[in-house]
Structure 1
């Protein structure tokens, strides 16, 4: 299936359209876990683009804030797994009313979001799917493709060449942390609060684990802390009884994560440390490992979440309110 990703016709079509369109602003719009996936793309575009500025918005706020810079020269990238998130569908309508080009990621081809978008990129979903075919990597692929067609970046081709090796990298990473996942589930199953911390392209991963896994799927209080903000308030909560999950990536902001790690090791004891430097990225071009690290760490955390759910006898699919009551 990886070859299908490399030759993804819908993604290629988007890049063809984007290449011919003047774009000076990119809006990344979604809710929840779909929104968290956008943080890596914002990081990439902020760092690498000299012609486009980028913002991440929660779907409803995108509409109500009504950015003055949203216009015919804007690209709005949206995401909703089932394509049924009403706020994101309305955001697509709103963006089109302003003349913007809308591109949506959704698992369901004929979903409401797909029908309201100019262009749609579908993706595979389910057990055993190659990470290279997931929306996580497809969003990054579109981002690097955008930089290729607009600014001649070489990273897109390096990513495509690396994709056939991504599954092996993720599998080895999960195996490397297998015992840690079991220990985490056993030691922290009764915790009432678990913090997650990261920076740069990894921040969205920490945010995903905090709000989608711990809060939504396990009903455990959590908060995602940016490593750069840790010393400006949040570090006062740290003690020997407060659990922290720290992510260390491979991008330019790693220093902030290392600084936070040094402090938490000195004053805390309940620490789970996931460091991309400890993993084997063989087959992934060195110039894009910073971008890929966030995808790999997310897959590792998903393995952690499955172990936690098993030990707590709390299935990841269990909900109190979502899809069950009016909201």
Structure 2
């Protein structure tokens, strides 16, 4: 069987997180202290990087009443009015050269905001122009959909956001971050076979709906936008669980695949109602449940559920004769 580069990159994720936490601790702590003193937090990214912003925002808002905005790079650049200068703008870009995000940082710097970047490239323009940079230890990554760069970037966001608060809930979540690499190592070994079989079952499908609530919406976004569309070259659409009954409830049909991410969040009562509806009309439901994989705070679920999803996408691409790390247009078309 052909082994694509993404296979190795899946295996390397736990160590990439460990190395990032070790090498970047000083800068991560510095950003966390700055956040603790600020009134407003902006999280800005595009593609897979935007998905980490969504997950981190909803995770933090489940335990803190904070002012966090998530925007794409160009939405921030073109449309965001900046009035509160006591703000922290955190930019997420695997390459540190994403044009949308780079322009947004330029605007933030010109407005006098405190800017931080989480990137995998230490010599990138964004790493040089931010007030402070966290350089993740993903090494050279070839798979376009993002594996090591995704989990290390997500870890950086969780670290600085939850590390900014001293209440009991935030500290407990913060303390559990160091357990994630070990859990990931076990899941990488234990979930490959079942998701290879699942991918073989669904290899001929061309459309997938991806549904999640809370922090899992960010992962549903990544699953649809970068993993399925970029990696497996399948049509896909992400959706908040609570929005299922607006639009998709009228369009979803018998035998259409629907992927549900369920972590027993309060909002997952709507995920479960959506599952029941889909079962009744005969869709092909694929359910990834946090509690089936790890006994850890459910707010950390994107770190957990992404592992079986990566194997599913890897083999879905493989069974269709596609390299999950290759691209047709990304990086070739500029606008």
TM-score, normalization: structure 1?
0.87
Structure with the larger RCO, 1 or 2 (CA within 8 Å, 6+ apart): 2
Q: Which residue of 2 aligns with 1:14?
A: 31
Quick one: which of 5, 21, 25 aligns to 1:5?
21
Cα distance in 2 for residues equivalent to 1:127 and 1:171: 20
Q: Could you report, residue by residue, the CA deviation over 1:249-277 in whole angstroms, capped at 9, with x for unpaired residues?
A: 14332212111111112212412110012
The 1:126/1:156 distance shift into structure 2, 3 A limit, reads farther
> CA shift at 1:49, angstroms?
2.7
Q: Using the TM superposition, name which of 296-305 and 152-161 deviates more.
A: 152-161
2:290 is aligned with 1:262: no
Q: Could you report, residue by residue, the CA deviation over 1:39-63 in whole angstroms, capped at 9, with x for unpaired residues?
A: 122113333333x311110110111
Quick one: which of 27, 32, 35 aligns to 2:42?
27
Q: Which residue of 2 aligns with 1:310?
A: 318
Q: Which residue of 2 aligns with 1:97?
A: 110
RMSD of aligned Cα (Å): 2.5
> CA shift at 1:233, angstroms?
1.6
Cα distance in 1 for residues equivalent to 2:272 and 2:193: 23
TM-score, normalization: structure 2?
0.85
The 1:265/1:178 distance shift into structure 2, 3 A limit, reads farther
Quick one: which of 199, 203, 206 aligns to 1:189?
203
> CA shift at 1:160, angstroms?
4.6
> CA shift at 1:33, angstroms?
0.6
Q: Which residue of 1 aligns with 2:88?
A: 75
Q: How does 1:126-137 map onto structure 2 within 5 Å?
A: 126=139, 134-137=152-155
Q: Could you report, residue by residue, the CA deviation over 1:59-116 in whole angstroms, capped at 9, with x for unpaired residues?
A: 10111112344x3211111100010101111111111222211111000112111122
Cα distance in 1 for residues equivalent to 2:190 and 2:271: 21
The 1:307/1:127 distance shift into structure 2, 3 A limit, reads farther
Structure 1 alignment gaps of length 5 or more: none
Q: Could you report, residue by residue, the CA deviation over 1:287-317 in whole angstroms, capped at 9, with x for unpaired residues?
A: xx12211211112211211111221221122
The 1:160/1:49 distance shift into structure 2, 3 A limit, reads closer
Q: How does 1:242-257 map onto structure 2 within 5 Å?
A: 242-257=256-271
Cα distance in 2 for residues equivalent to 1:61 and 1:229: 23
2:159 is aligned with 1:145: no
Cα distance in 1 for residues equivalent to 2:244 and 2:100: 31
> CA shift at 1:174, angstroms?
4.2
Are the counterparts in 1 of residues 180 and 303 from structure 2 also a CA contact under 8 Å? no
The 1:200/1:292 distance shift into structure 2, 3 A limit, reads same
Q: Could you report, residue by residue, the CA deviation over 1:134-164 in whole angstroms, capped at 9, with x for unpaired residues?
A: 2222211111012x1xxx3234543453344
The 1:159/1:3 distance shift into structure 2, 3 A limit, reads farther
Q: Could you report, residue by residue, the CA deviation over 1:12-55 in whole angstroms, capped at 9, with x for unpaired residues?
A: 22234444x4x2111111101100111122113333333x3111
Cα distance in 2 for residues equivalent to 1:111 and 1:165: 30
> CA shift at 1:279, angstroms?
2.0
Are the counterparts in 1 of residues 59 and 214 from structure 2 also a CA contact under 8 Å? no
2:222 is aligned with 1:204: no
Where 1:48 maps in the other structure, the secondary structure is coil
